[in-house]
């Protein structure tokens, strides 16, 4: 095996995701980051944020996001980010498939796809009187059956939500942990973090396997922690840096590059 670069240098980062990213970038053979373009990209992002007057207050402005920063919003954010994965349609693999046939949610006279379909499905369930965001409810099939969850995520089309059983498994696991270890509320995880995003990241990834996206690279465990960090960032944005969204080290959270694949 070729010598591994950067193993002794990565400890400079508080966030294990940064440590992993540094290690991977130094040792990757097939993918690389053009260093000369990093500053240009950063300048472009910063310039556009200033031009558009972007701030964390934008988060609550989306029609599907909670408008009031309270415990209900915490429960909503936790469930949404727990299930925020893999919205790729199998129909994308079929040439000539109609995008209108893919999984979507119809809610309040609008059709939503991707991440927004998840938000819309949960909001629709709440409007129907289903306590979908209550961990004590979704922890148990006795309180919320698999069939009921399937109904909650019913599609506007003939294609169902991808990985339904995997999402149900995540709900059962996370709900049970919240009930048994955190008195049924993610707020207690936040309280234990003492206003530290990094400590909350560790609490999340130590306790909830669904958020623990790790793998091995060149014999070393590397961490991605995409949704765990999104969970923290969403709480920070919802509360606009105050109350439960107050983190003294929020700058240690990384950006989370999104991804899609397309079939031509």
The CA angle 256-43-54, to the nearest 5 degrees, is 65
List of residues 6+ apart from 7 with CB closer than 8 A: 23, 220
List of residues 6+ apart from 29 with CB closer than 8 A: none
Judge whether 147 counts as a catalytic residue: no
The 3 state secondary structure assigned to the chain is CCCCCCCCCHHHCCCHHHHHHHHHHHHCCCCCCCHHHHHHHHHHHHHHHHHCCCCHHHHHHCCCCCCCCCHHHHHHHHHHHHCCCCCCCHHHHCCCCCHHHCCCEEECCEEECHHHHHHHHHHHHHHCCCCCCCHHHHCCCCCCCHHHHHHHCCCCCCCCCCCHHHHHHHHHHHHHHHHHHCCCCCHHHHHHCCCCHHHHHHHHHHHCHHHCCEEEECCEEEECCHHHHHHHHHHHHHCCCCHHHCCCCHHHCCCCCCCCCCCC
- For the record, the structure tokens of 256 come out as 């989370």
Enumerate the active-site residues.
258
């Amino acid at each position: 095996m070729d010598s591994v670069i950067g193993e002794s240098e990565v400890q400079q980062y508080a966030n294990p995701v940064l440590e992993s990213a540094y290690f991977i970038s130094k040792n990757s053979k097939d993918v690389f980051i053009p260093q000369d373009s990093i500053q240009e990209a950063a300048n472009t992002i910063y310039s556009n944020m200033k031009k558009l007057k972007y701030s964390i207050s934008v988060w609550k402005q989306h029609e599907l996001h909670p408008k009031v920063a309270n415990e209900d919003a915490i429960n909503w954010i936790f469930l949404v980010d727990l299930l925020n994965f893999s919205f790729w349609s199998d129909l994308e693999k079929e040439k000539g498939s109609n995008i209108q046939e893919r999984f979507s949610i119809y809610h309040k006279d609008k059709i939503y796809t991707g991440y927004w379909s998840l938000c819309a499905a949960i909001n629709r369930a709440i409007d129907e009187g289903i306590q979908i965001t209550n961990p004590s409810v979704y922890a148990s099939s006795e309180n919320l059956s698999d069939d009921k969850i399937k109904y909650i995520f019913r599609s506007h089309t003939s294609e169902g939500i991808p990985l339904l059983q995997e999402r149900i498994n995540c709900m059962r696991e996370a709900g049970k942990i919240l009930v048994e270890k955190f008195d049924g509320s993610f707020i207690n995880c936040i309280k234990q973090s003492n206003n530290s995003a990094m400590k909350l990241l560790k609490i999340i990834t130590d306790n909830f396997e669904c958020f623990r996206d790790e793998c091995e690279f060149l014999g070393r465990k590397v961490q991605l922690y995409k949704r765990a960090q999104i969970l923290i960032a969403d709480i920070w944005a919802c509360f606009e840096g105050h109350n439960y969204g107050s983190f003294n080290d929020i700058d240690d959270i990384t950006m989370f590059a999104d991804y899609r694949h397309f079939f031509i």
